[in-house]
Amino acid sequence: MMQPCVLQSNIILTGYRATGKTTLAKRIAQQLNCSAVDSDIVVEERAGCSIARLFAERGEPEFRRLEAETIRCILLGSKKVVLATGGGAPVNETTRRLLKANGIVFWLQASPETIYARMCGDRTTASRRPALTDFDLLTEIKNVLKQREACYREVAHFCVDTEKNSLDTAVQIILEQYAGYQK
């Protein structure tokens, strides 16, 4: 018989692309016997196309609107979840407030070089995610990280280094910080 979910409030993972949000969300949810949701996947399902195509055909403002609406629906739903947000979700002020008020937010961090290496190793990145600038990928990562840093910092309850820590260690850190925050 499966144990009931022990999640008292939503766990929200945010950070740049390729910092481990989706993978860690699945592992944490499995440990807690809860649902893991990737907001990017839900946005793609709702839009009927990839995020890259959504950006190209409808523009970033429409994508951000749909992303914010999707995250609101996920977080205000009746069940508790482990949510992996899109990397740019905290850029939207309304979304930042929503994230902070509806769960414990973990900002997953890695160096631009590690993010670059992970993105280059993911065959689906180019087809599913749009370029955010006209710069080469590493320069884009550095620039966008710098632009988003204040937003990530504002929304985060905790920071977790996913470059220096293994996936198992990162899961353990998040679960320990989560448990301590609940007391």
> Which residue in 176, 140, 155 sits closest to 18, CA to CA?
140
Range of the domain at 131: 11-182
CA dist list (Å): 23 to 13, 26, 27, 143, 162:
10, 5, 6, 25, 11
Q: Is residue 170 part of a domain?
A: yes
Compute the average pLDDT of residues 150-167.
Answer: 97
Q: Is residue 1 part of a domain?
A: no
**Is the CB of residue 42 less than 8 Å from the CB of residue 74?**
yes
H-helix or E-strand spanning residue 159: strand 158-161
Query: What token pair was written down for 101?
Result: 């008020």
More confident residue, 121 or 18: 18
**Is the CB of residue 34 less than 8 Å from the CB of residue 82?**
yes
Tell me the one-letter amino acid at 105: V
Q: Is residue 5 part of a domain?
A: no
pLDDT at 1 over 60: no
| pLDDT tens track for 118-127 | 998 876 665 5
Q: Is residue 39 part of a domain?
A: yes
- Domain tally, the chain: 1
pTM for the whole structure = 0.91
Q: Is residue 139 part of a domain?
A: yes
Q: Is residue 132 part of a domain?
A: yes
Q: Are strands 104-109 and 35-38 parallel, antiparallel or unpaired?
A: unpaired
| pLDDT tens track for 30-41 | 999 999 999 999
Give exposure, 108-131, as e/b (b: 16+ Cβ within 10 Å). bbbebebbbebbeeeeeeeebbee
Q: How confident is the model at residue 2 (pLDDT cuts 50, 70, 90)?
A: very low
| pLDDT tens track for 70-118 | 999 999 886 789 999 999 999 999 999 999 999 999 999 999 999 999 9
Compute the average pLDDT of residues 137-160.
Answer: 96
State residue 115's pLDDT score: 95
**Is the CB of residue 64 less than 8 Å from the CB of residue 88?**
yes
Q: Is residue 64 part of a domain?
A: yes
**Is the CB of residue 22 less than 8 Å from the CB of residue 79?**
no
State residue 183's pLDDT score: 52
CATH number at residue 140: 3.40.50.300
| Distance, C-alpha 181 to centroid of its chain | 20
Q: Is residue 171 part of a domain?
A: yes
